[in-house]
Amino acid sequence: MKNFYPNNLLITGFDIIFFWVARMLMMGENITGQLPFKDIYLHALVKDENGEKMSKSKGNVIDPLETIEKYSTDALRFTLAVLAVQGRDIKLSVDKLEQSRNFTNKLFNATNFLQLNQEHFDDLNPANIKTPLGRYMLARFNVAVKETREFMDIYRFNDAATVLYRFLWGEFCDWGIELSKADKASVAELGSIFKESMKLLHPFMPFITENLYMRLSEESLEEGESIMVKAYPTVSDADDEVIKQFDLIMEAIVSVRRCKTLIDKGNQKIEKASIKLPIGSDLEMMKPFIEKLGKVEKLTFVKAKLENSVTDVSDNMETFISTDDVDMSAIISKLTKQKEKLEKEIFKLNGMLNNERFVANAPEKVIANNRKTLADAVDKIGKVEAELKGFA
């Protein structure tokens, strides 16, 4: 009683709250003068993917042991956490389990990439993070720590799991690792941040995080201290300025790639490109990242629109590729054929829709479909004509 009464939290299913929890509250308060717990977390019921309660007679029971054997314990735990939205039942499906398993694969691949460059990594010390990419990833990590802790404090485990998924897959693996290919000096710092992020993920995926943390450290589980007894990451201020600069870098890379598709050079390396960036951008720092991931040999920064160029316009910038450096004949020919094909389609659809006899006798569904197809064709031909005009 001295050690465990009163407690902080009771976790239970909502279907037994009156008969069980209410009795505990009333009896505890009546006998001791204190409520037995301050908070009650009512968890969801796990149902099948159609929202049906699992039943042997229905044959829709999902055996957790079989699921663990196929997808792993961590994948099952993480799936249940992501789906544990307050006030809703959990609809457990194969698609969600596969998504979580793919997440574990992503973490393994990130570890393998880091160890291609360096076998072991120091524990995270923010004072040692010096490179621009390292500072950016540390800032994103600090944001993830703050949000994860806030959501866990109010028992919104699904939101905490979603934050971790967004940071580790979308920000660290998809962008951080790719950007490090333009800045090898940042890899050691990224490794330290990734190690620390395994602590953040540990309550949701205890086994893979322990394994990867030890792989990246100069110690083994048998000889070292388990990740589960290490201090959980604490909240620190995020560097908003470095986040702003790297948001522009990523937007620029995407813009360059889009601009290249306009000249049929989607994934190919091109010789030159130009970008008009907002005032205050750190051009020297940004250039190598955009060149490397945008696959541009020489990137220049301009203050005004380039004449005779294809253009991509995004929220904060404009990207230009000069048509003087590109053989435009094949692209113009392709667009001209597209325009001719669309003109024939528009002529045909207009003829049908302007035919009173056809409109009177055709099913309403067919007429509506033809009108939608006509609108789409008109929209497409407008875009094709705009591109041809830009190449003129």
What digits encode the pLDDT tens for the residues 327-380? 677 677 878 888 889 999 999 999 988 988 888 888 889 889 999 999 999 988
Residue 81 within any structural domain of the chain = no
| The pLDDT of residue 87 | 67
Residue 379 within any structural domain of the chain = yes
What does the pLDDT average to over 202-215?
Answer: 95
What does the pLDDT average to over 91-116?
Answer: 92
| The pLDDT of residue 234 | 92
| The pLDDT of residue 285 | 93
Residues 286 and 308 grouped into a single domain: yes
Q: Are strands 296-301 and 309-313 parallel, antiparallel or unpaired?
A: unpaired
Residue 104 within any structural domain of the chain = no
CA distances from 318 to 132, 158, 233, 328, 388 (A): 24, 38, 39, 21, 19
Distance between CA 12 and CA 23 in Å, rounded? Answer: 14
Residues 145 and 256 grouped into a single domain: no
Give the residue from 186, 203, 238 where a domain finishes.
238
Amino acid at 380: K
Higher pLDDT, 143 or 54: 143
Residues 303 and 360 grouped into a single domain: no
Residue 178 within any structural domain of the chain = yes
Distance between CA 107 and CA 228 in Å, rounded? Answer: 18
Give the residue from 307, 325, 343 where a domain finishes.
325
Residue 71 within any structural domain of the chain = no
Among 87-101, 150-164, 179-193, name the one with the lowest average pLDDT: 87-101
Segments forming the whole domain that contains residue 367:
329-391
Residues 213 and 261 grouped into a single domain: no
Residues 150 and 268 grouped into a single domain: no
| The pLDDT of residue 193 | 96
Look at residue 390 and tell me whether its pLDDT is greater than 70.
Answer: no
Amino acid at 229: V
What does the pLDDT average to over 239-265?
Answer: 91
Of 44-53, 87-96, 225-234, 375-384, which has the strongest mean pLDDT?
225-234
Q: What tokens were used for 254?
A: 């995407």
Q: Which residues contact 69 (CB under 8 A, 6 or more apart)?
A: none
Residue 206 within any structural domain of the chain = yes
Residue 203 belongs to a domain with what CATH number? Answer: 1.10.730.10
- The CA radius of gyration of the chain, in Å to the nearest whole number, is 29
pLDDT single digits (tens) 284-327: 999 999 999 999 999 999 988 888 788 888 889 889 888 776 76
What's the total number of domains in the chain? Answer: 3
Residues 225 and 285 grouped into a single domain: no
Give the residue from 222, 238, 254 where a domain finishes.
238
| The pLDDT of residue 391 | 65
Q: Which residues contact 10 (CB under 8 A, 6 or more apart)?
A: 21, 24, 36, 37, 39, 40, 41
Residues 250 and 221 grouped into a single domain: no
